[in-house]
Structure formats: C-alpha cells, structure tokens
C-alpha cells in the first residue's frame, strides 16, 4: 500500500522567482509574487515557459526563451532559468557556472543553500529563460505593508508549531522500525504529480524519494492512535491512520505543502523514530525554522487556517539524509 502526499508542483518555481528578485535587488514581496502565480495558474499544475516569462515581465524582468546546448548556456550571463531535466516540472535558477559545473539554488531548502551540479556535454538541448533587462527600481506600492504582514504571519505561524519531546519511548520507536523492516513493508513513496504526456495523475516524483510502510497490520497500532488523539487539537480528535516513512542516505522530500485549499488535513503529525543519522531536518523556509530529528519527539504543525485555506508559511521540506536511515511516523489530524 502506498502513501499519497499532496504536492504543490509550482512551489519550487515560485521560490526561484522570489530568490531571483532578491538577487537582482527588485523590491517585490513574496505575497505579490504568489498572487501573480495564483491568478495565472489557479487551475493548472504546470507552468509553461511563456507564462513564466510574462510573470517576470510584470516584475520588471525582460527575458527571452531559447533552446540551447550546454556550452551555449554557459556563455549566458547568470542568473537565468534552465530546465535541467526533460521530466522536470520546474525551472532551476542558475546562479553561476564554470567549465565543469552549474551552480544553482536548491529550492527544497532555503535561499542560502547552493548546489553544484556537474553536467556532461552532449547532444541534447536545454530550455532556458535568459534575462536581457531588468528594472531594479521596480517596487510594488504595497511592498512595505506586505513585508510587515509577512513578518507577522511568520511569527504567528512559528508560535503555532508544537514540539512534544519523548511522546514515544525508545522501545516504541524501535518496535515500529523493526516491524516495518522485518515485514518488508516499505515501498516507494508516491506524490500527486501531473504527467506531462497525458495529463493524468501519476505516483512517482523526484520531489519525494523516500519509502513508505502502511501500519494496518501492526498489533500496537491502537496505542499509536491513542497517542495521536491525546495531542489532537480539534474537537473531533480524528486522525488519519499513520504510516512509517524511511529516508535512506541521499533521500529527501523537497519543498511542498501537506494540504490544499478545502482539504480536511488541518494539522500534520510527525514523530521521529530515530536520531542516529545526519541530515533529515524538517525545514520551513518561510519562517527560516529548522526542526532536527530527535528520537521519540513529535512535531505538530498546521496546514490549513480556520477557513480551510492553505497556510503559505506551512511549506516545508525534509532535507537530504547524509548518513544513515531516518524513520518517521506521519499522520494528519482531520476535521
């Protein structure tokens, strides 16, 4: 049985545009950029290059689109956007390059993190969006008020995150891990992703590279559910059936939301089952907040507001595990 995650496919592109404006010194708020994307792509999961080009123009950034070889791309002056892989749904923001590497922002983390990617020269072409002019003095009239609102929202959201140490004992954590491994329950995690070819939903994405185990047959599942009910904040005390997620070395879950507008997953519940690893932190880029894995600790954070609208600050990622295997329990409090 697979666990399905909700994924906002355009989120990495939005993050890249926010970073680009910051790099160019253009004073435009994240609120304004998200509004532009929402208005244009409200009912769409993909972002055509021409539409992204039009959004950039509204922000005072004039661009041209071209298919180029890798050597030609390296002749361009960064920053610029490049579709790194044909199956990618989002353009990468290239910061710099040399003869061997492309240097780009990893938007699954935060803007201060950079990633060097080695690309081998070949025959394929890369679709790029290149800047030929930008107006540094572009400034939205609501910029100052938006910035204050964003700061207040970030502070309020950070205060809403609940961390409960030692909710699970070491033995309880080990029992879940041992059960899932001994029963060989882990299967490739799925996310909702729109297929470019036939517009149907498919299951796998490089956005999430973990594996998931269903706990339906776990004998102590009621004990886990009881603990979830104890920390539930809604009147119904209803939670989804938990799953165990395994992140092996190098695996991650890139920037995403756990719910969409009108969904019923009001809160996310994550329990860290081990901490003998490196990496695997849960990072909230909107509030610059990191939660490190600690065995038995439970992390609860809201996905939706009281009107069941998705909270922008809830976007987060699981950073790559750099050593060992990380195990978590994940569930959702529902309304």
CA distance linking residue 62 with residue 53, whole number of Å: 8
Q: What pTM was estimated for this model as a whole?
A: 0.79
CA angle 148, 152, 156 (to 5 degrees): 170
Task: Please report which confidence band the pLDDT of residue 294 belongs to, taking 50, 70 and 90 as the band edges.
Answer: very high
- Residue 158 pLDDT: 97
Q: Which of 35-39, 83-87, 147-151, 225-229 has the highest mean pLDDT?
A: 147-151
Among residues of the chain, what percentage have pLDDT more than 70? 82
Tell me, yes or no, whether 146 lies in a domain. no
Q: Count up the domains in the chain and report the number.
A: 2
- Residue 182 pLDDT: 96
Q: CATH number, domain at 51?
A: 3.90.70.10
Which residue segment(s) compose the domain that 71 sits in?
Answer: 8-134
Q: Are residues 127 and 189 in the same domain?
A: no
Tell me, yes or no, whether 145 lies in a domain. no
Q: CATH number, domain at 235?
A: 2.60.120.620
- Which residues neighbour 148 within 8 Å (Cβ) at sequence distance 6 or greater? none
Q: Are residues 179 and 288 in the same domain?
A: yes
Residue length of the chain: 335
Q: Is the bond preceding 79 in cis, omega lying within 30 degrees of 0?
A: yes
For 243-289, write each residue's pLDDT tens digit.
999 999 999 988 888 887 788 889 999 999 999 999 999 999 889 99
């Amino acid at each position: 049985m697979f666990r399905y995650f909700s994924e906002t496919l355009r989120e990495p592109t939005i993050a890249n545009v926010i970073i680009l404006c910051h790099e160019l010194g253009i004073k435009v708020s994240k609120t304004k950029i998200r509004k532009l994307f929402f208005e244009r792509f409200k009912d769409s999961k993909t972002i055509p290059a021409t539409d992204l080009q039009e959004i950039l123009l509204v922000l005072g950034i004039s661009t041209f689109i071209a298919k180029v070889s890798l050597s030609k791309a390296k002749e361009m002056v960064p920053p610029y956007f490049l579709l790194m892989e044909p199956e990618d749904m989002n353009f990468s923001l290239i910061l710099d390059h040399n003869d061997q590497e492309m240097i780009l922002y990893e938007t699954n983390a935060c803007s201060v993190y950079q990633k060097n990617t080695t690309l081998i020269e070949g025959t394929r072409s890369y679709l790029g969006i290149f800047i030929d002019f930008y107006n540094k003095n572009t400034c939205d009239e609501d910029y100052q008020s938006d910035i204050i609102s964003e700061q207040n929202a970030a502070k309020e959201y950070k205060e809403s995150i609940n961390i409960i140490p030692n909710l699970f004992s070491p033995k309880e954590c080990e029992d879940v891990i041992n059960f899932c491994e001994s029963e060989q329950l882990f299967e490739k995690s799925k996310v909702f992703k729109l297929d470019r070819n036939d517009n149907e939903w498919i299951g796998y994405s490089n956005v999430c590279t973990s594996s998931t185990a269903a706990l339906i047959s776990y004998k102590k599942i009621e004990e886990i559910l009881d603990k979830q009910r104890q920390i539930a904040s809604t009147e119904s005390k209803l939670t989804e059936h938990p799953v165990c997620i395994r992140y092996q070395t190098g695996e991650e879950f890139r920037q995403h939301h756990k719910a969409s507008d009108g969904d019923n997953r009001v809160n996310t519940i994550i329990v860290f089952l081990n901490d003998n690893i490196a990496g695997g932190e849960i990072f909230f880029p909107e509030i610059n907040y990191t939660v490190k894995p600690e065995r038995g600790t439970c992390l609860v954070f809201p996905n939706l507001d009281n009107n069941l609208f998705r909270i922008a600050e809830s976007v987060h990622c699981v950073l790559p595990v750099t050593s060992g295997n990380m195990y978590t329990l994940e569930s959702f409090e529902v309304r």
